[in-house]
Amino acid sequence: MAETPAATERIEHEVRVDAPPEVVFEYFTDPSKLVRWMGSEATLDPRPGGVCRFDINGSKMIGEYVQVDFPWRIVFTWGWETRLFEVGEQSTAVEVALTADGDATIVRLTHSRLPAAAVTFHRAGWGHYLERLAAAAAGNEPGPDAWKDPMLVLRAMQVEGGQ
């Protein structure tokens, strides 16, 4: 596992998805479902110690599943194959908690151990991709990923950073 900087932060996101937890859970553990909302290819082995890797618009996320508790909780490490915003392979952690809300699910995502330089990028990114998750898991087509355009990524980061 990569070294984590001493000073780190965490970000949290919450989104309501019009699908039960059992369905939403699969969008974090089934490669064909994950790439519907984030990334273009994925290798996933959803068990503690199993690989969690995917390509997001040419950047390779390298992680490992830490906890898999169907259908309520998933924890995995997160990092970039080519260090991006001071985040190396497996140097941060993502926890996804799923709570039933009638026929829907509340998804609470916490990304921790983030270096300060990575917070704005990851906060904007998770906001973008969780909207796509909500569409895909509800059975809708999220459409092409706007974040394939680096200028849109920069604009999202400026908005998120208050610039």
Residue 19 has pLDDT above 90, yes or no: yes
| pLDDT score at 7 | 62
* Assigned CATH class of 8-160: alpha beta
Please give the Cα distance from 90 to 76 (Å, whole number).
8
Distance CA 94, CA 134 (A): 18
Indicate if the pLDDT at residue 14 is higher than 50.
yes
pLDDT at position 109 is: 98
DSSP letter string over 38-76?
Answer: S-SEEEE--STT-EEEEEETTEEEEEEEEEEETTTEEEE
Helix axes 116-137, 150-160, angle to 10 degrees: 110
Of the ranges 14-23, 25-34, 88-97, 146-155, which one carries the lowest mean pLDDT score? Answer: 146-155
**C-alpha–C-alpha distance, residues 67 and 63, integer Å:** 12
Task: Give the containing element (helix H, strand E) for 103.
Answer: none
Token pair in block for residue 10: 């965490």
pLDDT of residue 121: 86
Where are the chain's structural domains? 8-160
Nearest-5° Cα angle at 129, 127 to 135: 110
Look at residue 3 and give its three-state secondary structure: coil
pLDDT band at 5 (very low <50, low <70, confident <90, very high): very low
**Per-residue model confidence as pLDDT tens digits over 103-126:** 999 999 999 999 998 898 899 899
pTM: 0.89
Average pLDDT, the chain: 90
pLDDT tens-digit series, residues 129-148 = 999 999 999 999 999 998 88
Hey, what are 27's tokens?
Answer: 């969008």
